[in-house]
């Protein structure tokens, strides 16, 4: 079946450094790629998303890039802060004719002060 691979599963960085999380998807019909942050005991919350007709999007310290040819998208967090510590999930959605959403397995990010 279709899947989304996410790497790394754990990432530890020093406060102020950058963090990069990478995802690869298999369904070429995927056209929406959100990133969610999940804090302990809560449901996931959207932090940034990108659509298939866009290659890059930035929102303050967070950016996402998409390479549709390679079926690859990445999350970049700059100037990391301790409050960025959480689990991050990428996802790929196929909206045409349905609403299938496949999530990556998650990346646990630790930001050390």
Site string for other proteins, 71-110 (x = CB under 8 A): ------------------x-x-xxxx-xxxxxxxxx----
Strand, helix or coil for residue 58: strand
Q: Among residues 15 and 59, whose Cβ is nearest to other proteins?
A: 59
Determine, following the binding rule CB under 8 A, whether residue 34 of this chain makes contact with other proteins.
yes
Cα–Cα–Cα angle for 97, 45, 88, nearest 5°? 95
Q: Does residue 43 contact residue 19 with C-beta atoms inside 8 Å?
A: no
Token pair in block for residue 81? 């802060």
Q: In 3D, which of 30, 48, 16 has the Cα closest to residue 101?
A: 30
Q: Among residues 43 and 113, whose Cβ is nearest to other proteins?
A: 43
Residue ranges binding other proteins (CB under 8 A):
1, 4, 6, 9, 31-32, 34, 42-46, 49, 51, 89, 91, 93-96, 98-106
């Amino acid at each position: 079946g279709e899947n989304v691979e996410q790497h790394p599963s754990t990432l530890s960085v020093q406060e102020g450094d950058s963090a990069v999380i990478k995802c690869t998807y298999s369904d070429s019909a995927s056209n929406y790629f959100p990133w969610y942050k999940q804090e302990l005991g809560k449901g996931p919350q959207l932090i940034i998303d990108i659509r298939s007709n866009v290659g890059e999007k930035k929102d303050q310290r967070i950016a996402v890039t998409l390479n549709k040819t390679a079926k690859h998208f990445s999350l970049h967090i700059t100037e990391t802060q301790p409050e960025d510590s959480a689990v991050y999930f990428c996802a790929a959605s196929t909206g045409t004719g349905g609403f299938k959403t496949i999530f990556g397995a998650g990346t646990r990010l630790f930001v050390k002060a």
